[in-house]
Chains A and B, each alone.
Chain A
Amino acid sequence: MSASRLPSGGSAIDRSRAVSLSFDGREIEAFYGDTIASALLANDVAVVGRSFKYHRPRGIWGAGVEEPNALVDIAGRGPNMRATTEPARPGLIARSVNAAPDALNDTRAFLDRFARFIPAAFYYKTFMWPDWHRFEPRIRAMAGLGKVDPAWKAAKAADRINHHCDVLVVGAGSAGLAAAKLAAQAGKSIMVVDEQSTAGGSLLHRDGEIDGQPGPQWAEETVAALKRDGHQVLTSTTAFGIYDHNLVALNQRHHDGRPDTLWRVRPRQVILATGAIERPLPFANNDLPGIMSADSALVYLRRYGVRVGRRIVIATNNDSAYEVAGALAKAGAEVTLVEMRKGPLPAAPEGVRRLAGRSIVSARGRMRVDGVTLDDGIALPADCVLVSGGATPTIHLYAQAKGRPVWNEARAAFLPGDPVDGITLVGAAMGDTKDGILATWPDARMKGRVWIDYQSDVTAKDVALAARENFVSVEHLKRYTTLGMATDQGKTSNLPGLALMAGITGRSVPETGITTYRPPFTPVPFTSFAGLNGGELMAPVRRLPLETAHRARGAVFQEYGGWLRPAHYGGADAERAIQEEARRARRSVALFDGSTLGKIEVMGPKAAEFVDFIYYNTMSTLKPGRCRYGFMLAESGVVFDDGILVRLDEHRFIVSCSSLHVASVHARLEEWRQDRFGRDAVYIHNATAEMATLTVSGPQSKPLLAALDLGLSLDDRDLPHMAVGEDRFGTDRLRVARVSFTGDRSYELSIRADRAEPLWVRLKEAGKAFDAVTIGLEALMILRAEKGYIVIGKDTDGTTMPHDLGVAGPRIKRQSDYVGRRSLFTEVASKDDRLQLVGLAVAESEPPLPAGSHGVTRDKGMTRSQGFVTSSHMSPTLERPIALGLIERGASRHGEAIDIRHLGTVRRATITPPCAFDPEGERLNA
């Protein structure tokens, strides 16, 4: 027995409330307020885990987020949780990591005996032959930390909270609380965060008075006053990252089973009162269980009433360990203080034996430390060794915000250098301490295994090896040895490691430099970053106003370009349903929900001039009440979108762009408007979501529409193909456009989205008499492909220009400027071997050509692509496969045969005009 719970004391625990938890299957008795670590220490559990690589026994080092060793998997909470920050809860089940069956009896402990054969980066040099992948699975199984429970699922989505305040104070120790108090007095809104479960920082375990009050009491009252005034104080909350323009991210841990909360805070001012972290001291076997940070031992004593040993050796190079030594002696331990400094020293505390000017060269023990040897050869027995190698200021957030740390020789630490806008550092984070320090760094000549990074299993010899192999830059050192790459991110190890490298290479510490600080400061669960962004909310779809009506009719929905649309209405046998819909659409009349079609209104005195510039086709000659099909080009001359432009009157147009391109077309219209035409010359309004568009298409479309008894004359002289009329449906305005994407006579009816359902119901009712069929998008794709109507981005690619699609007129004739014009006259645009739109026919008995297969030719003994199939369907009306493609010189090769190659097989097809059905276009007016 060495570590034990004292009969009294411990400000954090409530001795009237016992808590029982399990660690590695062993029952652990604790009190409410304990952390898992303090509970383990109280029960004298020395070995709490195994090291990452060598499976060496490891014990608790610290009392906070810097803990490198005491990681545990907690059932229902997650893997690799720090035992030092997780509260002991009744029934909690914790397991040590990297150990099987448990930390005390790890079957892979033998690996440590082979340590000399597996130094840093051994895996870069071995397992190369015959193939790394042969070894990888087994090595991966041996490495790694905690185990992820694949069955685990977060009880609910993690909360993400955005917050604004005047001042964010990170760290609720003496400096942070004093800063918060001052800022509050100045009338600022304040948020204070602290990673400990209780605010107060070192006030909670160090002696001291503020304003005549004991530290803990002052902290408690200051926090209470802040809260009373409406300020926010969050504990168990770590500020883990600072991002552009001082956005600070917080990880808030809850102790009631809720997943961690992610806070995104936008303060005007950030005050970093993040304190400092105690460093280890270098000596052989300095990783043995029972070797701990001196400051943490004081935390365990005063906060949890746990004395970490009975016979304690404390090694220090600074003043801060004196208070620890005195307190432990007073608590009944036999304390020897190994003081590394000579010369004028503070008085040794009462009851403490001091050996000045000495240092530890090695520790002894197998599963826990049982003694140390000093540099003068004296051996001291000990059941616990506390070390204080000096304080490393926690300047991570300052450095993440592109602050440049500057080396301070007197403090043996990197301190904040030039100020960063909006960030102030106070207290120990500024190096503001009074502990005189004798800098102590690892030395390559030290005997034995001197551990630098406990969690990554990096020794002084590994750093020396990296230096020998010329990985002397700190960034190379880090990646070659994995120094500082573990989950603790080298909070205790980075500085000793780079100081050692400095010593080996004969450079100073600042010359050697430090690695880049990156978020997160502490691990953050992915559930926090994900928040609600999962499942349907990962990428929310846009929904049709008539979705419910379609679902009632058995529609099968798919996502098309962000919209959830009916693919077909046929249940399980999709292919059959789609064919049937397309076949019936040609025979009678089809009803189709085309609400996603773009409806962008362009108005204003220069609207006509504007659309002329935007479109490849001349649009200003369009008469009011008429529609015209046209292309929009990118400035590169490539076809960007196609669609119908409707002219309602002299100064008002509707750009009916394709569903997929509404946002991008809208943005480009706005850009040309604001940049070239002027904000008062043209106005643009995207009415796409406001209006539903229902399409009636097919030979029976006119009688069906007539049956609706609208006021509008459907006579083809009044409403010819490519004309638009206004009408009313009930009290709502109805726009009727005779445009067609099927090749059959069609009417597009546009109405307020929220009033679309009665119109849809009416169409369906009236449609019964005409054998009307409701079709989904898949059937429409067949109908348009039969006609050779293209879909931009499917039947075109990033090189397709309008003359490749058979629309060469404007290129030859237009005199005025338009978007993309100059690009249509470059050398490339004028080449005669461009890919051009064609149809591709195969024999009736054959299956359709696979879309994406290539047209090929033999050229100088090599097979060469001549283009590819872009759309391919079985046509139920033609009763044969149809296809569209982009084929080299295709427009001049109609009737020619071409080899189509797909996954090694070659088929023959005949190049045809794109339109396979009703080439004369008679059905548009049938």
Chain B
Amino acid sequence: MQIFNCPFCGPRAESEFHYGGEAGNLRPDGADVPAEDWANYLYMRANPKGATREVWLHVTCGEFFVMERDSVSHKVHSATAIADTSEAK
């Protein structure tokens, strides 16, 4: 059972969180987005080994945040509210 840091609530058990996908998967807006770009947005993932940036949801409080962690050692490096990241609109 890992411990994640919700930016809103602080450290909580892993079972309170849902995985929300890889961070930085920016949505291409509009009806005329090339099919390949849209397919990349929908389906293509890097699935990196080691250092990762991921979106997580703290289910109990509703906070979406970006967590930097290591998928091998399970070390957690940082957690930033998604609205505070540079990618948020």
Interface residues of A (CB under 8 A from B): 243-245, 247, 264, 266, 402, 635-636, 666-667, 670-671, 674-679, 684, 817, 821-823, 825-827
Contacts and interface: CB of A to CB of B under 8 A. Distances in A.
B38 A823 contact: yes
B47 interface: no
B18 interface: yes
B64 A675 contact: yes
B48 interface: no
A636 B1 contact: no
Given A675-B88, A676-B88, A826-B38, 13 more contacts: A243-B1, A635-B42, A666-B62, A671-B57, A674-B82, A674-B83, A675-B83, A679-B83, A817-B29, A817-B30, A821-B31, A825-B31, A826-B35
Given A675-B64, A675-B89, A676-B88, A245 B74 contact: yes
Contacts of A679: 83
Nearest to B72: A402
A670 B62 contact: yes
A667 B57 contact: yes
Contacts of B42: 635-636, 823
B3 A245 contact: yes
B1 A247 contact: yes
B53 to A, nearest CB: 14
Given A667-B18, A671-B57, A677-B89, A817 B31 contact: yes
Contacts of A245: 1-3, 74
Nearest to B88: A675
Interface residues of B, number: 28
A676 B27 CA distance: 10
Contact of A667 (B30, B38, B62): B62
A676 B89 contact: yes
Contacts of B33: 822
A604 to B, nearest CB: 14
B31 A671 contact: no
Contacts of B59: 667
B51 interface: no
27 contacts: A243-B1, A244-B1, A264-B1, A635-B27, A635-B42, A636-B42, A666-B62, A667-B18, A667-B57, A667-B62, A671-B20, A671-B57, A671-B64, A671-B82, A674-B64, A674-B81, A675-B82, A675-B83, A676-B27, A676-B88, A677-B89, A678-B88, A678-B89, A817-B31, A822-B28, A823-B42, A826-B38
B89 A822 contact: no
A684 B62 CA distance: 10
B13 to A, nearest CB: 9
Contacts of A243: 1
Interface in B18-42: 18, 20, 27-31, 33, 35, 38, 41-42
Contacts of B31: 817, 821-822, 825
B84 to A, nearest CB: 9
Nearest to B35: A826
Contacts of A825: 31
A113 B49 CA distance: 53
A827 B38 CA distance: 13
A364 to B, nearest CB: 53
A496 B80 CA distance: 51
Contacts of B3: 245, 266
Contacts of A684: 62
Interface string B70-89: 00011000000111000011
Contact of A678 (B1, B27, B83): B83
A720 to B, nearest CB: 34
Nearest to B74: A244
Contacts of B14: 244
Contacts of A676: 27, 88-89
**5 closest Cβ pairs, A-B complex:** A244-B2, A674-B64, A670-B62, A674-B83, A247-B1
Contacts of A823: 38, 42
